[in-house]
Chain A
Amino acid sequence: MDRHVQVGIHELKNKIIEMGGLAEEAIALAVEGFLASSSQRAQDVKDIENRINRLHILVDELCVRLLATQQPMGSDLRFIVAVIKINADLERIGDQAVNVSGNAKRALAGRPLDLDTRNDFAAMCPATRDMVRSALDAFVRNDQRVAEKVLKMDDVVDGLKNAIFAKTIELMEQGTLGVKQGLDLILIARNLEKIGDHASNIAEDVIYATSGQDVRHPYSRTELKSP
């Protein structure tokens, strides 16, 4: 017979998997709509975000209940601590997907995107989705190696965001792109990059849950250890 804490952990894992699936779906709808120059699914993204928010509350409640009643230790404690943080990251990913969807709706109302910007977004959107999918795979399989790969993917997404920022600013300075439309494109890139950051956070939490290693902020950690 499973102990209460193991039953609770199983339930938590299922809830996070469900949230992760919804977060992936929200990103896919927002991003695909943008790349296909369609804003028809914006309401669907909002509906998914609402479902994520409900799960956000349920997962937190379950974590608090497990901590209070089971006083977990070792890998159980690390898992629950990680889930509390992953839960917050998934909720934020839902918010960011809604933001992308809203920014895309406005950006698509302007003039068609230039080819470079379009290509950069065509690369950034799947890269961001890959990060989230891989981070969730790492969580489902307790796979530290996959989590470590996610952390490396973040640099690619950051690079694409910087390229989009530079190109968009250049076009706005030239006057070939309106400020409102340019700002929306920058915000889309910014939101996608933030989604990548949340995926990185999830990967770090998976590493902590599986190995006990805290890999966050390595430079700050060095400073903490120095006298």
Chain B
Amino acid sequence: MEHNGSYSGHNGSYSSHNGHVSLVGHGDNFESQTILESKDLDAWFGSHHVVKSVSLHFFSRTVSAIIGPSGCGKSTFLRCLNRMHEEIPGARAKGVVNFQGKNIYDMFSEPANVRRHIGMVFQKPNPFPAMSIFENVIIGLKLAGVKKGYVLNDIAEACLKQVGLWDEVKDKLSAPGLSLSGGQQQRLCIARALAMAPEVILMDEPTSALDPISTARIEELLVELKKTVSIVIVTHNMQQAARISDTTAFLLSGDLVEFGRTGEIFTNPRKSETERYITGRFG
């Protein structure tokens, strides 16, 4: 797929100028700085070609949703964006993922360093079981060499406040992370990701294991977080994508079918496959 300039699978068109990208759709132009982009990205599990030459822009301080039926490659694509995919035995990726203009797959990029800038939150809340609430938040910082107690305390408090968990846990910071409810655990995991001050957080169906109230709190949190962090979220819940995201990409069988402003994708998609998917004709 051609990346620069016009782009066939796109709802409208990209135009790129000095790193500034306009997303032109049916309505007003959507304009923001690109923070992360994939160029002709392919991914495989063994011989199974899961992601096929996907080129996509993710804009700074936005929520970008990736939707598609099960097995379409959206989670694999997401994991390629911070080099998590290659951790799986037999998995490989080819192509370019530019983060702030630099390819995270070039030979000088350390995967661990990439993940400090591009964090991840998973489907199932996964606090470290042997750690307290406090330790769960600051473990990344500790591993990165931050030792000063007051720094760790301040960051833990700030991150727990940012995810709206501070008031609920400030009196039991030494309690196990697993003692929290499912929704609280997921917010703890987001706080853990935020502690590293990433520029991007990738989220793989972060609310699929949560009840509606916890889901609503996470959704509100994501909309709040995008003021400071760019978020890429994979979700099966199209209403969720419609509620919280600014742009949406639809993947099908590893191909990018359509990408555009969320409002347009869910009311008037350009591609018949997208229309059929969002109206429940398949998937």
Knowing A73-B242, A212-B26 are in contact, say whether A5-B280 is a contact too (CB < 8 A).
yes
Of the listed stretches B96-104, B120-128, B264-272, name the one at the interface; the rest are far from the partner chain.
B264-272
Of the listed stretches A74-82, A83-91, A126-134, A171-179, name the one at the interface; the rest are far from the partner chain.
A74-82
**Using Cβ atoms and an 8 Å threshold, which residues of chain A touch B281?**
3
Q: Are A76 and B26 in contact (CB under 8 A)?
A: no
Q: Are B279 and A72 in contact (CB under 8 A)?
A: yes
Quick one: CB contact mask for B255-283 with A, threshold 8 Å, 1 for yes?
Answer: 00000000000111100001100111100
Q: Are B26 and A74 in contact (CB under 8 A)?
A: no
Q: Are A75 and B26 in contact (CB under 8 A)?
A: no
> A69 in the interface, Cβ–Cβ < 8 Å?
no
> A71 in the interface, Cβ–Cβ < 8 Å?
yes
> B4 in the interface, Cβ–Cβ < 8 Å?
no
Q: Are A73 and B268 in contact (CB under 8 A)?
A: no
Bound Cα distance from A71 to B238, whole angstroms: 9
* Distance in Å: Cβ of B235 to nearest Cβ of chain A: 14
> B154 in the interface, Cβ–Cβ < 8 Å?
no
> A225 in the interface, Cβ–Cβ < 8 Å?
yes
* Distance in Å: Cβ of B241 to nearest Cβ of chain A: 10
Q: Is the interface of A mostly helix, strand, loop or mixed?
A: helix
Closest to A211 in B: B268
Bound Cα distance from A72 to B238, whole angstroms: 10
Interface centre among B26, B268, B269 (most CB of A within 10 A): B268
> B239 in the interface, Cβ–Cβ < 8 Å?
yes
Q: Are B268 and A212 in contact (CB under 8 A)?
A: yes
Q: Are A73 and B28 in contact (CB under 8 A)?
A: no
Q: Which of A3, A77, A211, A225 contacts B266 (CB 8 A)?
A: A77
Bound Cα distance from A76 to B277, whole angstroms: 12
Q: Are B279 and A225 in contact (CB under 8 A)?
A: no
**Using Cβ atoms and an 8 Å threshold, which residues of chain A touch B267?**
73-74, 77-78, 212
Q: Are B266 and A74 in contact (CB under 8 A)?
A: yes
Bound Cα distance from A225 to B26, whole angstroms: 12
Q: Are B268 and A78 in contact (CB under 8 A)?
A: yes
For residues 42 through 72 of chain A, which have their beta carbon under 8 Å from a beta carbon of chain B?
71-72
* Distance in Å: Cβ of B182 to nearest Cβ of chain A: 23
**Using Cβ atoms and an 8 Å threshold, which residues of chain A touch B238?**
73
Knowing A212-B267, A212-B268, A225-B28 are in contact, say whether A75-B275 is a contact too (CB < 8 A).
yes
Closest to A212 in B: B268
Bound Cα distance from A78 to B275, whole angstroms: 12
For residues 234 through 254 of chain B, which have their beta carbon under 8 Å from a beta carbon of chain A?
238-239, 242
Knowing A212-B267, A212-B268 are in contact, say whether A74-B279 is a contact too (CB < 8 A).
yes
**Using Cβ atoms and an 8 Å threshold, which residues of chain B touch A211?**
268
* Distance in Å: Cβ of B196 to nearest Cβ of chain A: 36
Knowing A3-B280, A5-B279 are in contact, say whether A73-B266 is a contact too (CB < 8 A).
yes
Q: Are A74 and B239 in contact (CB under 8 A)?
A: no
**Using Cβ atoms and an 8 Å threshold, which residues of chain B touch A77?**
266-267
**Using Cβ atoms and an 8 Å threshold, which residues of chain A touch B279?**
5, 72-76
**Using Cβ atoms and an 8 Å threshold, which residues of chain A touch B266?**
73-74, 77
Bound Cα distance from A181 to B281, whole angstroms: 58
**Using Cβ atoms and an 8 Å threshold, which residues of chain B touch A225?**
28
**Using Cβ atoms and an 8 Å threshold, which residues of chain B touch A78?**
267-268
Bound Cα distance from A101 to B282, whole angstroms: 50
Bound Cα distance from A71 to B28, whole angstroms: 25
Bound Cα distance from A3 to B239, whole angstroms: 17
Q: Are A74 and B268 in contact (CB under 8 A)?
A: yes
Q: Are A74 and B28 in contact (CB under 8 A)?
A: no
Q: Are A73 and B26 in contact (CB under 8 A)?
A: no
* Distance in Å: Cβ of A147 to nearest Cβ of chain B: 16
For residues 1 through 32 of chain A, which have their beta carbon under 8 Å from a beta carbon of chain B?
3, 5
Interface centre among B28, B267, B269, B274 (most CB of A within 10 A): B267
Q: Are A71 and B269 in contact (CB under 8 A)?
A: no
* Distance in Å: Cβ of B30 to nearest Cβ of chain A: 14
Q: Which 5 A-B pairs have the closest CB atoms?
A: A212-B268, A73-B278, A74-B278, A74-B279, A76-B279
A3-B281, A74-B266 are known; give 16 further A-B pairs, CB within 8 A. Answer: A3-B280, A5-B279, A5-B280, A71-B239, A73-B242, A73-B279, A74-B267, A74-B269, A74-B279, A75-B275, A75-B279, A77-B266, A78-B267, A212-B26, A212-B268, A225-B28
Q: List 18 interface pairs A-B (beta carbons < 8 Å), by A numbering.
A: A3-B281, A5-B279, A73-B238, A73-B242, A73-B266, A73-B267, A73-B278, A74-B267, A74-B269, A74-B275, A75-B279, A76-B279, A77-B266, A77-B267, A78-B268, A211-B268, A212-B26, A225-B28
